[in-house]
Amino acid sequence: MAECDLKGLKCPLPALKTRKRLKSLVSGAVLRVETTDPLAGIDIPHLCQQDGHQLLSSERTANGHVFMIQKGSMAGT
């Protein structure tokens, strides 16, 4: 499983960096994303829907969110 620590970054950087990281992964790979930006709770699920990835889980933490995303097979490379 790949990990992406985006704590401390503000919108739109968490979504942009998540998209870039997903592009570097093979289809079906799982990416764990950790962020402190409150807007990531909206932006990351929207990115998954828009780009064809599956949001496996979205969990609020004391300081932000943790997302588990599986790269879609039809998602752009």
Domain residue limits, the chain = 2-70
Question: Looking at residue 6, what is its pLDDT?
Answer: 98
Q: CATH second-level architecture of 2-70? A: 2-Layer Sandwich (3.30)
Question: Looking at residue 73, what is its pLDDT?
Answer: 84
Question: Looking at residue 9, what is its pLDDT?
Answer: 97
What are φ and ψ of residue 57, in 5° steps?
-160, 155
Cβ contacts of residue 16 below 8 Å, gap of 6+? none
pTM: 0.92
Q: Which of 2, 4, 9, 11 is catalytic?
A: 11
Active site annotation includes 11: yes
Q: Which residues of the chain have pLDDT under 70?
A: 74-77
Question: Looking at residue 74, what is its pLDDT?
Answer: 67
What are φ and ψ of residue 34, in 5° steps?
-120, 130
